[in-house]
Amino acid sequence: MTSQPLQQLNRLQTRWKPLLSRPDWYLSIIPEIEELVGELVNEPTSLRDAVKARLYDFFEFHLVRGDIALGPPCSVDGDRKPIDTIVIHHTSNPRGMRPSRLSAIELIRLYAPYFAKPTYRGDKSRQGQPIYSGHVRNGEQVFWPYHWIVRHDGRTERLLQDSEIGWHAGNWEVNCRSVAIALDGDYEEDRPSFIELQGIGALIRRHYPKVSLLRVVGHREVNPKTSCPSNLFLDSANVAGWKSDLLALMGKGDAATVG
């Protein structure tokens, strides 16, 4: 595919490469990403997806290689509170999300925009500073927002530890007291399979048995700016949402074994 947006992205990536080693690389790059994405609003979905995939490829490659300047892994979990809430998400990307890809996506989609324009008064000093997450795996910082990811076959994989705060809810108080569970895929207009719901239910029952079913919520229920994890998550006038299916399954205690 050689469309104009892809050609434009190729030119931008050539210009970005030498900038990635600068501590404030994101102050120049993120506005250009936002401008490019804004220009794609009226383009076909296939083209938008192709540009997004190429963009994520670029940052995953350079993050894995260690080309991107990051700050020291300072402690960020001092506000962690006892877990009393489970927040359900979806990755809104194709299935088979690699942890390294998720880290790169959230670096540019979540962390970099925040460091460019911190919204909490106590974080204003972060503006323009090297980005850090404080979460380290195998000697490298990761930028995962979720504690768990649920695969298509119902298997569950841990990402963040329960002692770590995930930047996932768009609400710091919720982040501090919650665990984030993400379905591996785009469920905006689809319902998870029974086996995926079993995987979520079993995970919660095994690891978080003290969390009330009333505190198992979708991302959209704590952040009205998003439809995540699905337009079909909540009950509508004529159709029961799949949240009802999940809670009913958990209430029956009929969940599969967590892998």
Residue 249 contacts residue 201 (beta carbons within 8 Å):
yes
pLDDT for position 42: 87
Quick one: pLDDT band at residue 226, thresholds 50, 70, 90? very high
Question: Does 39 score more than 80 pLDDT?
Answer: yes
Q: What is the DSSP letter of 171?
A: -
* DSSP β-ladder status, 140-141 and 156-158: unpaired
Please, what is the Cα angle at 207 between 201 and 211, to 5 degrees? Answer: 75
250 and 201 Cβ atoms separated by less than 8 Å: yes
- The 10s digit of each residue's pLDDT in 189-210 is 999 999 999 999 999 999 999 9
**Are residues 183 and 89 in contact, defined by beta-carbon separation less than 8 angstroms?**
yes
What does pTM read for this prediction? 0.93
Taking alpha carbons only, the member of 183, 187, 198 closest to residue 246 is 198
In tens, the pLDDT along 122-181 reads: 788 888 899 999 999 999 999 999 999 999 999 999 999 999 999 999 999 999 999 999
Q: Which is more confidently placed, 256 or 241? A: 241
User: What CA–CA distances, in Å, run from 153 to 117, 158, 213?
Assistant: 39, 15, 23
Q: pLDDT over 90 for what percent of the chain?
A: 83
